[in-house]
Amino acid sequence: MSEQPRDEAPDPSVERPTPVPSPYGGSEADVPGMARQTDLGNAVIAYLLAGPLTFGGLGFLLDRLLDTWFVMPVGVVVGMVLSLYVIWLRYGRS
């Protein structure tokens, strides 16, 4: 086997992963493409949370204002449906 002696510099033609800071201290190897995938996942989760919370919150306020009980659940369902539709529009169609 041809091993490099420890006192020689590493071969610059070999591409090594770029270390990135780890949240647990130290560093981890950078995986190409993972940031884009993570951003996509975070955006989808944000849409899935924001829609029902926003429309449910508006429904809650309308329930308080109109002294009813049914507007908040309708708002949550409408918010989820709209969130799924926006996700389909942005990421589902290629």
Q: How far is CA 19 from CA 10, 28, 91, in A?
A: 16, 5, 30
Q: Is 28 inside any structural domain?
A: no
- Report the pLDDT averaged over residues 76-90: 95
pTM of model > 0.95: no
d(CA 81, CA 53) in angstroms, rounded, equals 12
Q: Is 17 inside any structural domain?
A: no
By residue range, what is the domain housing residue 87?
Answer: 45-94
Annotate 14-40 with b (16+ C-beta within 10 A) or e (fewer): eeeeeeeeeeeeeeeeeeeeeeeeeee
The total domain count for the chain is 1
Q: Is 32 inside any structural domain?
A: no
* Portion of the chain with pLDDT greater than 90, in percent: 49
> pLDDT tens-digit profile of 14-58?
666 666 666 566 666 666 666 777 888 889 999 999 999 999 999
